[in-house]
Structure 1
Amino acid sequence: MVPARMTITGRWRRRMAALVTVPFLVGVGLVGLAAPATAASCYAGSCTGKGPVSQGCDNDASAIAEVPMTTGDGYTKVQLEYSQACKAMWARGRSLPKSDFDIKIVKHRTSDNAALYSHRVTVYSGCSGCANPWEWTNMAGWTSGSKIRACIQDPFTNKWACTTWFRLA
């Protein structure tokens, strides 16, 4: 007896084509797959003094406060960024066309207002058309009994403007 001839159905052909085509397209980069988010590598006090991007804390960050600044060189702002996963905050500022300015993150003890941590960064001019015109400070990690805020310095008057103090529960 001669075995029955196997026929390849259209459905089977489509499945095989998909099994071969999709890995090929992914391999050559024609189909984008989302990269997995980097897990945060610090938490609360252990984040103090570390960069938010290098620690993976920027993945869930949100701006919880901001202070705008209008100068002779245009409009900018400082934002106080917060990461729930890291329990840490940092300041972030957007560059101006011609003027450099400073931003800082400040952490104080709530009971006596003693300074616990401060990090200051210069936001350089001329990057308003860049893919990422933002600069940021290192983080101030939350610790019990502390408060944190972000500040921006006007490049023409040298006066500082700050967000309100934030305390985490």
Structure 2
Amino acid sequence: MKRVSVALSTMALTVTTLFALAPAVQAAPAASCYASSCHHKNPTSTGCANDAYTAKSARASDGTLVELRYSPTCRAAWARISNTHVGAEAFVQNTAGQSDSVNVSSGSDVHTSMVNDANLQARACYATNSASNFSACTGWY
């Protein structure tokens, strides 16, 4: 009987040690906005980027990738362009007429702020410059 008790004590100590050595899993911070309250806010600083995925994408003839990013937690969408040039414009709009745009000021990637996407659709577009003459747009999502 003593052997069983020693074996159980050893197993308990081993399990406790394993849990103590395991890295702590940290939950992603909760999003700070939802739907219309996300309009014109940054998806990264609000936490909306934490569960975001690319809902639609398109590639322009110059190789620029246009993505419509969507956060199901925030019910908001934004445009992201990558592999592009300084001066390029990313543009997002929803079916309620809300929109946002931003130009690449350095590097080759940029994303817009968000628009409401609760019970709406949105799309992302790319223009080679700030004239909003779109070279590529995603489909609506």
Length-normalised TM-score, structure 2: 0.75
Q: Which residue of 2 aligns with 1:81?
A: 69
CA distance in 2, matches of 1:32, 1:123: 39
> Does the C-alpha gap of structure 1 residues 35 and 123 become closer, same or farther in structure 2, counting only changes over 3 Å?
farther
Q: How many residues align?
A: 135
Change (3 A) 1:102 1:117: closer
Q: Computing the radius of gyration over CA atoms, which structure comes out larger, 1 or 2?
A: 1
Unaligned 5+ segments in structure 1 are: 1-5, 26-30, 110-114, 127-133
* 1:85-134 deviation per Cα after TM superposition (whole angstroms, max 9, x unaligned): 211100112234xx32221212453xxxxx433232417436xxxxxxx5
Residues 106 and 57 of structure 1: CA distance in aligned 2, closer, same or farther (over 3 Å) = same
Tell me which residue corresponds to 1:41.
Answer: 32
- Could you tell me which amino acid in structure 2 is paired with residue 68 of structure 1? R
Q: Provide the rounded CA distance (Å) in 1 between the counterparts of 2:65 and 2:95.
A: 22
Higher helix share: 2
Which segments of 5 or more consecutive residues in structure 2 lack a partner in the other structure? none
Aligned partner letter, 1:39? A
Which residue number in structure 1 is paired with residue 104 of structure 2?
A: 122
Counting aligned pairs with the same residue, the percent is 27
Contact kept in structure 2, 1:108 and 1:117, CA below 8 Å: no
The 1-side partners of 2:99 and 2:41 are apart by 12
Distance 1:67 1:122 in 2: 18
Partner of 2:91: 104
Whole-Å Cα distance in 2 between the matches of residues 70 and 11 of structure 1? 67
The residue that corresponds to 2:114 in the other structure is 139
Instruction: Indicate the RMSD between aligned Cα atoms, in angstroms.
Output: 2.8
What letter corresponds to residue 11 of structure 1 in structure 2?
Answer: L
TM-score, L = length of structure 1: 0.65
SS in structure 1 at match of 2:12: helix
Check the 8 A contact 1:88/1:140 in 2, yes or no.
yes
